[in-house]
Amino acid sequence: MDAALIWILAGLVMLGAEVMLPGVFLLWVGLAAIGTGLLLFAVAPPFWVAVAVFIVLLGAGIAVALRLKRAEHPRPRVNTPDSGLVGRFGVLTEPGAAGPRVRLGDSDWAARLPRDAAETPAGTRVRVEGVDGTTLVVRPE
C-alpha cells in the first residue's frame, strides 16, 4: 500500500474517532495526517521529511485552535447567582439583627444598601443592582 494512502486513511480514522470521542484533539491529528498524505501524493520525500511535515501541520493546527479559543466570545452567564436577580424589584422589609432584608418574589434575602440610602424605611421598593455571595446589593427606586 502506498505511504500517501496510509497517511490519508490514518487521518480519516482519526476524524472518525473524533466524531465518537469528545474533545477536538483528534481533529488536528487527523487533518495533519491527511495533509501529509496529500503532500506525499504530490512529491515522494523521504520518511523523515513526511514526519517533519506531519509535526509542522499538527503544530499549525494546534496554534490555530488556541487562537480560535482565545477569540471565543464570553459565555453567557447562566446558573450564576446574579443571572436572574439583577434588575428585579423587591420590597425592603423590617431589618433583622443582621441588617436590612429584601422580599423578592416569595423569598427574603439579606440586603446591602448604599451609604446614602442607609436610612431607607421598610416598605420601600428597591432594585437589585448586584449580588455579593448571598447578599443582594440594592438601591431604592
DSSP tag of 73: P
What letters, b where the CB count within 10 A reaches 16 and e where it falls short, cover 56-81?
ebbeebeeeeeeeeeeeeeeeeeeee
- Encode pLDDT of 54-63 as tens digits: 999 999 999 9
- Encode pLDDT of 37-60 as tens digits: 999 989 988 989 999 999 999 999
Q: Where in the chain is the domain with CATH 2.40.50.140?
A: 89-140
Identify the pLDDT of residue 99: 80
112, 106, 107: which is closest to 128 by C-alpha?
A: 112
Please give the model's pTM, rounded to 2 decimal places: 0.52
Identify the pLDDT of residue 56: 96
- The architecture in CATH of the region 89-140 reads Beta Barrel (2.40)
Identify whether the C-beta of residue 98 lies closer than 8 Å to the C-beta of residue 132. no
Q: Is the pLDDT of residue 34 over 90?
A: yes
Joined together, the cell numbers standing for residue 25 give 484533539
